[in-house]
């Protein structure tokens, strides 16, 4: 191969400027963006929400909606100008030359079609000469290649019969079906559990090395960038902040913004302290036993009845929780860690009285509640306040901030009236300007919305707060602020908190003790120090190992 | 196991529904007036005649006894004899059924494909002039009273153009020992106008439903993924969007079909179409209690049956319903 052909980029974006037109006026989404992608390369596009990274991905795929208008710049692919193509020309590019993998593996696949049919459909759409038989054979090959076990058995299965990781593998197989030169992967692993995320990233790397396909990896996660990319483009508010090789960006970032992004990534400490050897195993016990725990949950078992059409439903009762016991020390933050489907959120909702459980007991501050009854009947509802993952959907869009908070003060409190914190002080403490009181949720940023959710929970005057992934829907830099705020609030407002998360580093930072959940069972438990440094539980270890090496020490 | 319990549950629900419906119908028609005065000739009848007629019809009994007698007869499959026609009431309903059934079916055969196509088209080009026109047309179609629409159709199709007859059933052919119009050319010509009159509001309803479903589907990730993987927009629309929006459409088609079987009164009256709806309204006017009860029972059974069919369709359409996870 000539030196020349290696040097020439496969895709070159130069000085691209895009505007978004709305009735309220035009906003610039991308300003003067340039980047180069070479053959067989994984390029990371990183930035926080609103950075324009997904818009750039869509522009490369020709999937921009008509409201977007290019005012300057070019996208050159193999010497062809993509930006001036019409739909007919795009049909020759999309799927055949440039393909895509999206974040939400559930929404990417047609739920009513078997995965085999969806693969064959793509193969036949992208290659007119292929026979039905050949298409089927190639579909099998692709499924084998992306690591679907027993492809012959799974060929006629529907998307919902696969796990999340397998679905994303199928999506990758479909993306590969037209033998493209570029795959635009928009947050391909963000919806997956850490251990699965690692496998999918490894698969992408293998495919790049084997087939020479190039990947544009759009992500907000520095861990993903560190794991597999060759080059990185850092974006902020529609502009390129910095572009370089991955190692340079990680080790020697030039720009302050890049440094801040890197610093905001929570680090996991796995090396145990020096004195750990001479400690006995008794520190597996959590917290001090001097005071009785504020919350004792014991032997909770819950089953979900099977889903599906009643006439066809087999008896598919699923055990969601099996004999789960959790204790929460007064004034402490206790972490519950697990992957999706581990039952960690179910436990949180049972404690908050939002769900019932078949068996088990629950005591708050010495009072027992019957968790087999709905929250209203057992009197549990309102005792424990919740902070949910996505502040965008957990606030009533028709209520202003003031209305939301006042409702909480009026109906929530179980404390004596005098001790009730007032809205203004709480707003100020949480760093929310008084002028926000009149606003509605859609007029707030993600971080502000989550602060309002925290204020709402605290104003109800609870003894216990259950925070279910309260930072997962937020940008990295905002995540750190919210985490810090939660920690301060626990001390200041004298509440205790159950912190449910899949993010080990965050749990380590906040929590004094940790429960590891796996498939509805408490798999491992102990003080934070014990779990992260000395636990020998193989599942706990695998969770820790799934973290990007770069951000553990 | 669970199939039996589900079917059992459904049947008991249907039973309860029929019981409540019959009670309401019974008490309702009793409170409207005394049927005897529609049966005897008021001008000539003596008090004795009226008394004998009342006893002959069992109307001298207290209402609750009449109701129990009615229930007892229904269990043995006997709805009684029509006060007016002196024919078994159930046979009377059954004799009107083919006319109603073919009218409703043809109306739905026109409405469903047309509505779906218009909805897909409008939703695909959300915000375009096609979309706006479909929306406007559907609003007017839904708000036009059906008697006015029927008369306009008669004026256009029968009076001005003279292509279609203005009423009646036309020639019929016997099939399964029932008379059907749709098998003869003349019958089809007679069917066209009333079927259109019934179809128009349904077209509008289905088009709106398909449109909003399509708009929602277009914004979903998998249609975006379908485009990214290189499928043509036509294939995406018919192979991916259409199946995914069909569950609410099937529901509304089922319900509307049931409605047309029972309550196409206005259209059937205007086009002199001898269907169930017309029978129902006539029997209410003439206080023909056996026929009314038989018609109402048939309508309830039809709705329960249609609901079950719609449920089965869900399972056919959606593998998530069909196969338990």
Nearest residue to A465 (alpha-carbon basis) of A456, A474, A473:
A456
Please spell the DSSP secondary structure of A372-435, one letter per residue: TS-HHHHT-BTTEEEE-S-HHHHS-TTS-HHHHHHHHHHHH--S-GGGPPPHHHHHHHTT--GG
pLDDT tens, residue by residue, B157-172 = 888 887 888 877 777 7
Nearest CB to A316 within list B220, B240, B324: B324
Considering the domain architecture, whether residues B68 and B94 belong to the same structural domain is answered as no
- The nearest CA of chain B is from the CA of A444 a distance in Å of 24
Beta bridge partners of A326: A297
Q: Helix crossing, A538-545 with A194-211: angle to 10°?
A: 50
Q: What number of C-beta contacts closer than 8 Å exist between A and B?
A: 122
- The nearest CA of chain A is from the CA of B8 a distance in Å of 11
Beta bridge partners of A220: none
Structure tokens given for B234: 């036509």
Tell me if residue B149 falls in helix, strand or coil: helix
CATH no., domain A37-62+90-264: 3.40.50.300
Considering the domain architecture, whether residues B70 and B159 belong to the same structural domain is answered as no
B46 found inside a domain: yes
Considering the domain architecture, whether residues B63 and B132 belong to the same structural domain is answered as no
Contacts of A121 in chain B (CB under 8 A): 231, 235, 239
Query: Is B186 at the interface with chain A, CB within 8 A?
Result: no
pLDDT tens, residue by residue, B42-61 = 677 777 777 777 777 777 77
Among all residues of chain A, which has the CA nearest to that of B247?
A112
- Residues of chain A numbered 87-106 and touching chain B (CB < 8 Å): 87, 91, 94-96, 99-100, 102-104
Backbone angles phi, psi at A388, to 5 degrees: -95, 170
What is the distance between the alpha carbons of residues A261 and B145, in angstroms, rounded to a whole number?
64
What is the distance between the alpha carbons of residues A134 and A142, in angstroms, rounded to a whole number?
12
Instruction: Name the residue with higher pLDDT: B8 or B125.
Output: B125
What is the distance between the alpha carbons of residues A240 and A424, in angstroms, rounded to a whole number?
40
- The nearest CA of chain B is from the CA of A431 a distance in Å of 36
Considering the domain architecture, whether residues B13 and B108 belong to the same structural domain is answered as no
Instruction: Name the residue with higher pLDDT: B177 or A290.
Output: B177
Beta strand pairing status for B173-175 and B178-180?
antiparallel
Q: Most B CBs within 10 Å: which of A58, A107, A108, as the mutation test of the B interface?
A: A108
The DSSP symbol for A267 reads P
Contacts of B311 in chain A (CB under 8 A): 309, 311
What is the structure's pLDDT at B116? 94
Considering the domain architecture, whether residues B168 and B306 belong to the same structural domain is answered as yes
- Residues of chain A numbered 153-182 and touching chain B (CB < 8 Å): 158, 160-161, 171, 174-175, 177-178
Query: Is B63 at the interface with chain A, CB within 8 A?
Result: no
Span B85-98, mean pLDDT?
A: 84
With a pLDDT cut of 90, the percent of chain B lying above it is 13
Nearest CB to A94 within list B221, B228, B322: B228
What is the structure's pLDDT at B120? 92
Query: Is B238 at the interface with chain A, CB within 8 A?
Result: no
What is the distance between the alpha carbons of residues A91 and B231, in angstroms, rounded to a whole number?
8
User: Contact A269/A553 with Cβ under 8 angstroms?
Assistant: yes
B150: CATH? 1.10.3720.10
Tell me if residue A533 falls in helix, strand or coil: helix
Query: Is B10 at the interface with chain A, CB within 8 A?
Result: no
Among all residues of chain A, which has the CA nearest to that of B313?
A309
Produce one character per residue of B105-123: b if its CB has 16 or more CB atoms within 10 Å, e if not. Answer: bbbbebbbebbbebbbbbb
What is the distance between the alpha carbons of residues A479 and A481, in angstroms, rounded to a whole number?
5
What is the structure's pLDDT at A279? 45
User: Using CB atoms within 10 A of its CB, is residue A211 exposed (0-12), middle (13-18) or buried (19+)?
Assistant: middle
What is the distance between the alpha carbons of residues B11 and B5, in angstroms, rounded to a whole number?
10
Among B32, B47, B75, the domain-final residue is: B75
B83 found inside a domain: no
B81 found inside a domain: no
Common-topology check for domains A37-62+90-264 and A293-383+464-472+496-553 = yes
Question: In this predicted complex, what is the ipTM?
Answer: 0.72
Considering the domain architecture, whether residues B230 and B163 belong to the same structural domain is answered as yes
Nearest CB to A108 within list B222, B239, B324: B222
Matching residue, tokens 């055969």: B109
Query: CB distance A306–B229 less than 8 Å?
Result: no
Torsion of CA A155, A158, A161, A162, to 10 degrees: 60
Considering the domain architecture, whether residues B156 and B286 belong to the same structural domain is answered as yes
Beta strand pairing status for A42-46 and A231-236?
parallel
Nearest residue to B204 (alpha-carbon basis) of B139, B272, B290:
B139
Structure tokens given for A446: 């993600």
Query: CB distance A312–B321 less than 8 Å?
Result: yes
Considering the domain architecture, whether residues B168 and B257 belong to the same structural domain is answered as yes
What is the structure's pLDDT at A220? 86
Please spell the DSSP secondary structure of A323-354, one letter per residue: EEEEEE-TT-EEEEE--TTSSHHHHHHHHTTS
Q: Most A CBs within 10 Å: which of B126, B229, B322, as the mutation test of the A interface?
A: B229
pLDDT tens, residue by residue, B194-253 = 899 999 999 999 999 999 999 888 888 888 888 888 888 888 888 889 988 988 899 899
The reported pTM is: 0.78
Tell me if residue B33 falls in helix, strand or coil: coil
Task: Indicate the number of domains in chain B.
Answer: 2
Query: CB distance A312–B322 less than 8 Å?
Result: yes
B250 found inside a domain: yes
- Residues of chain A numbered 33-72 and touching chain B (CB < 8 Å): 61, 63
What is the distance between the alpha carbons of residues A466 and A469, in angstroms, rounded to a whole number?
10
What is the structure's pLDDT at A524? 92
Beta bridge partners of A516: A337, A524
Query: CB distance A160–B220 less than 8 Å?
Result: no
Among all residues of chain A, which has the CA nearest to that of B127?
A66
The DSSP symbol for A288 reads -
Fold of A293-383+464-472+496-553: Rossmann fold (3.40.50)
**Could you list the residue range(s) of the whole structural domain that residue B48 is in?**
2-75
Q: Most B CBs within 10 Å: which of A102, A103, A308, A315, as the mutation test of the B interface?
A: A308
Query: Is A122 at the interface with chain B, CB within 8 A?
Result: yes
Query: Is B127 at the interface with chain A, CB within 8 A?
Result: no
What is the distance between the alpha carbons of residues B126 and A73, in angstroms, rounded to a whole number?
29
Contacts of A87 in chain B (CB under 8 A): 233
Domain ranges of chain A: 37-62+90-264, 293-383+464-472+496-553, 389-462
User: Contact B120/B210 with Cβ under 8 angstroms?
Assistant: yes
What is the distance between the alpha carbons of residues A380 and A463, in angstroms, rounded to a whole number?
12
Considering the domain architecture, whether residues B184 and B226 belong to the same structural domain is answered as yes
Among B75, B97, B119, the domain-final residue is: B75
What is the structure's pLDDT at A184? 93
List chain A pLDDT tens, one digit each, 553 residues: 444 445 688 999 999 999 888 777 788 888 999 999 999 999 999 988 878 888 899 899 988 888 888 888 999 998 888 888 888 888 888 888 999 998 887 788 998 899 999 999 999 888 878 888 999 999 999 999 888 888 888 888 888 888 888 888 999 999 999 889 999 999 888 878 888 888 889 999 999 999 899 999 998 888 888 889 999 999 998 899 999 999 898 888 888 889 888 888 878 877 654 444 444 444 455 544 557 888 999 999 988 765 544 444 444 556 788 899 999 999 899 999 988 878 888 899 999 988 888 888 999 888 888 888 887 777 787 788 999 888 888 898 889 999 998 888 877 655 555 556 688 888 888 888 888 888 888 888 888 899 999 999 988 888 899 999 888 878 887 888 888 899 998 988 889 999 999 888 889 989 999 999 998 899 999 998 899 888 889 999 888 888 777 777 6
- The nearest CA of chain B is from the CA of A121 a distance in Å of 8
What is the structure's pLDDT at A417? 54
Q: Helix crossing, B242-263 with B289-317: angle to 10°?
A: 170
Contacts of B222 in chain A (CB under 8 A): 107-111
The DSSP symbol for A530 reads I
Considering the domain architecture, whether residues B97 and B164 belong to the same structural domain is answered as yes
Among B21, B42, B75, the domain-final residue is: B75
What is the distance between the alpha carbons of residues A194 and A338, in angstroms, rounded to a whole number?
10
Torsion of CA B62, B63, B67, B69, to 10 degrees: 20
Considering the domain architecture, whether residues B66 and B137 belong to the same structural domain is answered as no
What is the distance between the alpha carbons of residues A539 and A516, in angstroms, rounded to a whole number?
9
The DSSP symbol for A193 reads -
Structure tokens given for B144: 């036009």
């Amino acid at each position: 191969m000539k030196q020349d052909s290696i040097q020439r980029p496969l895709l070159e974006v130069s000085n691209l400027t895009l505007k978004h037109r709305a009735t309220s006026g035009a906003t610039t989404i991308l300003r003067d963006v340039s980047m180069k992608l070479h053959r067989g390369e994984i390029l990371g596009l990183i930035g926080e929400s609103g950075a324009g990274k997904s818009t750039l991905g869509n522009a490369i795929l020709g999937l921009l909606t008509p409201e977007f208008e290019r005012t300057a710049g070019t996208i050159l692919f193999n010497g062809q100008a993509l930006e001036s193509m019409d739909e007919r020309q795009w049909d020759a590019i999309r799927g055949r030359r440039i393909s895509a993998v999206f974040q939400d593996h559930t929404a990417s696949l047609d739920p009513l079609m078997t995965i085999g049919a969806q693969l064959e459909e793509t193969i036949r759409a992208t290659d007119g000469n292929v026979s039905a038989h050949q298409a089927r054979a190639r579909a099998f090959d692709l499924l084998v290649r992306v690591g679907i076990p027993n492809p012959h058995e799974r060929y006629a299965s529907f998307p919902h019969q696969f796990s999340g990781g397998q679905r994303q593998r199928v999506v990758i197989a479909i993306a590969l079906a037209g033998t493209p030169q570029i795959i635009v992967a928009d947050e391909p692993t963000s919806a997956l559990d850490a251990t699965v995320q690692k496998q999918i990233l490894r698969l992408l790397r293998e495919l790049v090395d084997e087939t020479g396909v190039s990947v544009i990896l759009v992500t907000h996660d520095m861990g993903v960038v560190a794991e597999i990319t060759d080059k990185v483009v850092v974006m902020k508010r529609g502009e390129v902040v910095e572009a370089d090789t991955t190692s340079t960006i990680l080790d020697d970032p030039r720009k302050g913004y890049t440094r801040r992004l890197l610093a905001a990534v929570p680090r996991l400490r796995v090396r145990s302290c020096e004195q750990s050897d001479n400690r006995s195993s008794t520190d597996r016990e959590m917290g001090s036993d001097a005071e009785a725990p504020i919350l004792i949950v014991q032997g909770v078992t819950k089953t979900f009845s099977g889903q599906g059409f009643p006439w066809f439903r087999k008896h598919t009762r699923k055990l969601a929780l099996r004999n789960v016991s959790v204790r929460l020390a007064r004034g402490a933050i206790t972490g519950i860690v697990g992957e999706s489907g581990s039952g960690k959120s179910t436990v949180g909702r049972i404690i908050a009285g939002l769900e019932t459980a078949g068996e088990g007991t629950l005591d708050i501050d010495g009072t027992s509640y019957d968790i087999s009854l709905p929250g209203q009947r057992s009197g549990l509802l309102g005792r424990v306040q919740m902070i949910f993952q996505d502040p965008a959907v957990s606030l009533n869009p028709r209520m202003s901030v003031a209305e939301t908070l006042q409702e909480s003060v009026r109906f929530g409190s179980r404390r004596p009236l005098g001790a009730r914190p007032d809205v203004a002080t709480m707003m100020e403490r949480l760093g929310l300007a008084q002028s926000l009181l009149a606003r509605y949720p859609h007029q707030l940023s993600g971080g502000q919305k989550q602060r309002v959710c925290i204020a709402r929970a605290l104003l109800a005057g609870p003894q216990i707060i259950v925070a279910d992934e309260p930072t997962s829907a937020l940008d990295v830099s905002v995540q750190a602020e919210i985490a810090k705020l939660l920690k301060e609030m626990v001390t200041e407002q004298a509440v205790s908190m159950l912190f449910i998360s899949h993010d080990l580093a965050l749990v380590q930072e906040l929590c004094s003790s940790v429960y590891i959940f796996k498939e509805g069972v408490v798999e491992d438990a102990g003080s934070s120090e014990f779990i992260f440094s000395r636990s020998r539980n193989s599942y706990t270890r695998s969770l820790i190992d799934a973290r990007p090496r770069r951000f553990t020490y | 196991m669970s199939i039996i319990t589900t079917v059992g549950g459904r049947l008991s629900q249907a039973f309860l529904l029929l019981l409540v419906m019959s009670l309401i119908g019974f008490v309702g028609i009793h409170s409207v007036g005394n049927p005897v005065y529609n049966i005897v000739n008021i001008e000539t009848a003596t008090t004795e005649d009226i008394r004998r007629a009342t006893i002959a019809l069992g109307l001298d009994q207290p209402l609750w006894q009449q109701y129990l007698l009615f229930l007892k007869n229904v269990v043995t499959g006997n709805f009684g004899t029509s006060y007016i026609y002196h024919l078994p009431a159930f046979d009377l309903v059954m004799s009107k059924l083919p006319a109603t059934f073919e009218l409703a079916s043809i109306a739905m055969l026109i409405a469903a494909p047309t509505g779906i196509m218009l909805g897909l088209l409008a939703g695909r080009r959300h915000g375009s002039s096609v979309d706006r026109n479909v929306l406007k047309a559907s609003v007017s179609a839904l708000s036009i009273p059906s008697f006015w629409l029927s008369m306009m159709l008669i004026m256009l199709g029968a009076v001005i153009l003279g292509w279609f007859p203005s009423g009646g059933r036309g020639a019929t052919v016997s099939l399964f020992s029932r008379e059907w119009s749709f098998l003869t050319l003349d019958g089809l010509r007679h069917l066209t106008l009333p079927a259109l009159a019934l179809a128009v509001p349904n077209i509008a309803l289905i088009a709106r439903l398909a449109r909003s479903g399509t708009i929602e589907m277009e914004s979903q990730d998998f249609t975006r993924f379908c485009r990214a993987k290189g499928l043509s927009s036509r294939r995406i629309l018919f192979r991916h969007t259409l199946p995914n929006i069909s569950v609410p459409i099937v529901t509304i088609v089922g319900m509307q079909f049931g409605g047309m079987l029972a309550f196409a009164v206005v259209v059937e009256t205007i086009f002199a179409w001898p269907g169930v709806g017309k029978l129902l309204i006539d029997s209410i006017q003439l206080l023909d209690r056996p026929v009314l009860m038989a018609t109402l029972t048939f309508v309830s059974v039809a709705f329960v049956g249609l609901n079950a069919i719609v449920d089965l369709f869900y399972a056919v359409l959606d593998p998530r319903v069909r196969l338990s996870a």
